[in-house]
Structure 1
């Protein structure tokens, strides 16, 4: 039996655009606070606000985009997001907020387009490959940012590179032939739903809530790795943490996606959450380089694969004309977990230390397993078949 085609020109172009968007996000995330302090003599707290306000913008962008996709389609929505991203504003805080909105719009649109153009029989595999574009960007972006900061005109290079990448995104998107008709939903049908359902997809909420908890659990690693590694005298090994993390995801993602398409989400999700918990436990007790890097591999296989499977589930349980809302719902809750995690955990760290925080995250992940079973797992095949 002939397989449905996966690697189309449009799939590659949209994945490449997502790679550049994520790369620009992480490139600026690790450098913008330093820029605010150096160029504007901002306080540490103000510099932190410049960095974190991006997340607020992204949440606003995602909230608006799901509804916009239903009305004007994914193609026009992505044009708006990419065009918005290419515009630079003089005021730094306003710029970061608007940039966050732009990335929220554009990345939600790219995720929705991928869900729309993938064949149903290979959706898990396809979204798995697509999400690798973001994984690669999360490894390359910070690395590139730290290198450019060492240059004499580092900030000029960073902002110039963002402008160039934005224009490349627009140019490549112009080459794509994406013909996705607007959803054929009558005004009467749309009016039936609540006000909330016009911005959020209720069917995607259960798996998205689990993603919020798992994103919250991972956020501590993302934000406090450098401080924790320095405290443990593992700074040298920590520079390879995200490289190992990215490699194991790249190697495992193709298999996990195919497995989900063949046998449902549970066969991947339960082991992924257990491995994530084991990785976090090892991370919390790391005293040598090999322990830290092994924890990176376990977290990569666990958290990395859960993330793509959960995103696929959010789409699969939803009717095609609401794919945009499902994608934005997933990312709103996932980003919220990543965004509030460092803020809340930052208050606790001075009283408990990093090890206690990460042990607490192990309990959080383990709690998510029965919660996933109750919210989605026990009806996984039934829900996906009914969609």
Structure 2
């Protein structure tokens, strides 16, 4: 009977729309804020690095705290307050007349982003039926994937025809739609039976998902090589528009995520994760071998298959491993690992590329994938994947 539980409820649709609007507003600034730093504020490329990096740092710092607050103070209230701050800081970019002001706004934006992204994912995991968690979290993740494709394109379209004030105001408006969607979700709390414990490290991080977090860290360490260097690699390969990589990658994710989630729900993680790890490693090997447009695009397709399988499966496994009142801590833990993986990967792989070149950097990424694969099949593959009571 559980297999037939409805997935597409009003609340699930609203939390997916929340993610879509929230991520779209976030991605509005990914490709345009560096232009604002160098073009309007006359900053340097080093300033761009500071402005981009501070958001990741503050988001990493706040995620464990956000998880604790989501579990102890209630999901909806925390997310609503965080989204109010998210909307306000996005609009406040209109007031960024100096590098210092922009730096402070990005720090606040990082705090709000840490709370909203962790909170929305936790609410989604509460809403999705346990028997369809892999499928449901796969669909939920598609909202962020679609936003990743739409956000930068829409922001550049606006900037080409209007100005930065219009861009920031539109971003604030889109994030306000996310706030409206959350307000429309039925008020519920899943932490009413939470046992009272002393505050400690385990209040903010969930030890039962540490091994999964290690897998997530190393998987996203390789993704740091994509987000930071794929544009430069496209130039080396004489690919005119590196955006085609992310577009193809996003389309691949759209097809793979729901399918992978259904397999996880029916058969468990081992078979589908084997395919995911092989696809991920293969995608980097294809990038290493690429000489032009064709293999560049093929690698994006295979990368989408790998990440489309691995990310939602690991998240569903992590949620299933704990009681409902610990889901906030779980999301805070795994999202912290995700952010750290991308951030540290960008730095470490930058050193590798400077020494060996970009192609060999991607070859090394293909071998790095072996680390999370070994950790997964050593620590996690034999553990129960169903929701604990």
Band the TM-score falls in, shorter-chain normalisation: over 0.9
Tell me the residue number matched to 2:325.
321
Q: Which structure 1 segments of 5+ residues have no match?
A: none
Instruction: Confirm whether residue 245 of structure 1 aligns to residue 249 of structure 2.
Output: yes
Tell me the residue number matched to 2:35.
34
| 1:328-343 to 2 correspondences below 5 Å | 328-343=332-347
- Displacement after TM superposition at 1:307 (Å): 0.7
Which 10-residue stretch deviates more, 247-256 or 297-306? 247-256
- Displacement after TM superposition at 1:144 (Å): 2.1
Instruction: Confirm whether residue 380 of structure 1 aligns to residue 380 of structure 2.
Output: no
Instruction: Confirm whether residue 102 of structure 1 aligns to residue 103 of structure 2.
Output: no
Aligned partners of 1:208, 1:19: CA distance in 2, in Å?
Answer: 25
- Displacement after TM superposition at 1:173 (Å): 1.9
| 1:250-269 to 2 correspondences below 5 Å | 250-269=254-273
The 8 Å contact of residues 191 and 324 in structure 2, kept in 1 or not, is answered as no
The 8 Å contact of residues 124 and 261 in structure 1, kept in 2 or not, is answered as yes
- Displacement after TM superposition at 1:181 (Å): 4.3
Which 10-residue stretch deviates more, 269-278 or 362-371? 362-371
The 8 Å contact of residues 249 and 304 in structure 1, kept in 2 or not, is answered as yes
- Displacement after TM superposition at 1:77 (Å): 1.0
Question: Once the two structures are superposed, what CA deviation does each residue of 1:45-64 show, in whole Å capped at 9, x if it has no partner?
Answer: 01221112111121123121
Aligned partners of 2:356, 2:163: CA distance in 1, in Å?
Answer: 37
TM-score (norm 1): 0.94
Tell me the residue number matched to 1:43.
44
Tell me the residue number matched to 1:60.
61
Tell me the residue number matched to 1:3.
4
Counterpart pick for 1:114 among 124, 131, 143: 124
Counterpart pick for 1:282 among 267, 278, 286: 286
Aligned partners of 2:343, 2:148: CA distance in 1, in Å?
Answer: 16
Q: Secondary structure at the match of 1:30?
A: coil
Tell me the residue number matched to 2:150.
140
- Displacement after TM superposition at 1:386 (Å): 5.1
Aligned partners of 2:302, 2:368: CA distance in 1, in Å?
Answer: 17
Question: Once the two structures are superposed, what CA deviation does each residue of 1:243-280 show, in whole Å capped at 9, x if it has no partner?
Answer: 11111211122211111011111121111010111111
- Displacement after TM superposition at 1:136 (Å): 0.7
Q: How many residues align?
A: 379
The 8 Å contact of residues 116 and 320 in structure 1, kept in 2 or not, is answered as yes
- Displacement after TM superposition at 1:40 (Å): 1.6
Question: Once the two structures are superposed, what CA deviation does each residue of 1:12-53 show, in whole Å capped at 9, x if it has no partner?
Answer: 111111111111222212111211122221121012211121
Q: Which runs of 4+ in 1 moved over 3 A?
A: 383-387
Tell me the residue number matched to 1:158.
167
Aligned partners of 2:370, 2:240: CA distance in 1, in Å?
Answer: 28
- Displacement after TM superposition at 1:182 (Å): 3.1
Measured on the aligned residues, the alpha-carbon RMSD in Å equals 1.6
Which 10-residue stretch deviates more, 307-316 or 34-43? 34-43
